[in-house]
Amino acid sequence: MISIGTPLLWSLFAAFVLVALAVDFLAMRRQGAHAVTMREAGIWSLVWVAVSFAFVAWLWWHLGGASGDEAARALADAKALEFVTGYLVEKALAVDNIFVFLMLFTYFAVPAEFQKRALMIGIVGALVLRAVMILVGAWLIAQFHWVMYVFGAFLVFTGIKMWWAAGQEPDLGSNPALRWINRHMKISPRYDGERFFTMQNGVRMATPLFVVILLIGIVDVVFAVDSIPAIFAITTDPFIVLTSNVFAILGLRAMYFLLAGMHERFHLLSYGLAVVLVFIGTKMLLIDVYKIPIAWSLGFTVTVLALTMVLSLRIPARPGEAGSAYPFRAKKRDAEAPREAG
């Protein structure tokens, strides 16, 4: 499998990620537990987007995008377009992560000042999971071409499943993972600061914050399984796949606090994400028949997401319609009340 990733590029990227996470952890420790304001979330969201596009601009220059070599310019343009498309697709799919995190925080009544730490741990878990799955996925595709068809079929199936789950309320109480945790762990009914475990009447118990962390980890696995095949439909270059994923995830925490209060305004967005997944899955299934240009994929993704956001603002949501039940089971609708005897 051909990749632009040289030892120097991989080393620089790994160093950047470690420094970024270290700075984030130090800043979080100095600030302590506090509720993140919209202004703070907006500033950090812009910072991460700017850093992402600064990286792709530097990569384009490093590959010879500004040189007089026509072949180098073509390669630089292609890789930059692959990165931007992959970044936007992952960023869009991350919106569903945000809505699920919001459901978990609401269900467990996580205080606003504790949410920042839970998200940070969830993001680190997502980074590790995606790195492992991308490396495995790249190896599978390099060894077995038919894996692309498996990924494509899976994305089409996931898109259809997401479409049917859109607008439905999740049934977190019946979630198998949560039921298993409740059966096998002693859970405290109260929070104890940002601690994951506490002592009550001489008994060591997990706090609700620890349960939330576990569920966020499970959600990370589910969404990683969805998003990794999607990025492989755009490019099979492991360096572009990993960097676009990582940059999209690094800004996830800030984006959560920015969008958490606006999730009801974009109640149709899950339908748009479902359409994008079906499109990307179809692209993978047709890879040996017709290769859809990356620019078309980028244009289609941006158009569909923009259209669903505009429609969300113009069409009011019905009660309980905001968001999506995916990846959880949807609550069963109440049975119709029996008719009164005439």
d(CA 201, CA 54): 54
Q: Is the pLDDT of residue 203 over 50?
A: yes
Q: How much is the pLDDT for 81?
A: 92
β-strand 203-206 against 197-200: which pairing, if any? antiparallel
| Cα-Cα-Cα-Cα dihedral sign, residues 261, 171, 227, 273 | negative
- 181: its two tokens: 């945790």
Measured between alpha carbons, how far is residue 270 from residues 87, 117, 145, 321 in Å? 18, 26, 30, 11
Q: Tell me the DSSP string of 43-78.
A: HHHHHHHHHHHHHHHHHHHHTTTTSS-HHHHHHHHH
Report the percentage of the chain scoring pLDDT > 70: 85
Q: How much is the pLDDT for 146?
A: 85
pLDDT level of residue 161 (50, 70, 90 thresholds):
confident
Q: How much is the pLDDT for 114?
A: 80
Tell which residue, 53, 105, 108, has the closest CA to residue 81: 53
User: How do residues 104-159 score in pLDDT, each as one tens digit?
Assistant: 887 788 887 788 778 888 778 778 888 888 888 888 887 888 888 888 888 888 88
Whether the upstream peptide bond of residue 327 has omega within 30° of 0, thus cis, is yes
Measured between alpha carbons, how far is residue 210 from residues 115, 117, 120, 216 in Å? 12, 11, 13, 10
User: How do residues 25-69 score in pLDDT, each as one tens digit?
Assistant: 777 677 665 666 777 778 888 888 999 999 999 999 999 988 878
Contact yes or no for 101/219 (Cβ under 8 A): yes
- 162: its two tokens: 């997401």
Contact yes or no for 198/192 (Cβ under 8 A): yes
Angle at the Cα of 101 (from 309 to 124), degrees rounded to 5?
A: 110
Local structure of residue 173 (DSSP, 8 states): G
Q: How much is the pLDDT for 339?
A: 42
Number of H helices and E strands in the chain, helices first, is 11, 2
DSSP H helical segments within 144-251, as ranges?
147-165, 176-184, 208-232, 238-250
Average pLDDT over residues 277-281: 86
Q: Is the pLDDT of residue 331 over 90?
A: no
pLDDT level of residue 174 (50, 70, 90 thresholds):
low
Helix axes 238-250, 70-107, angle to 10 degrees: 40
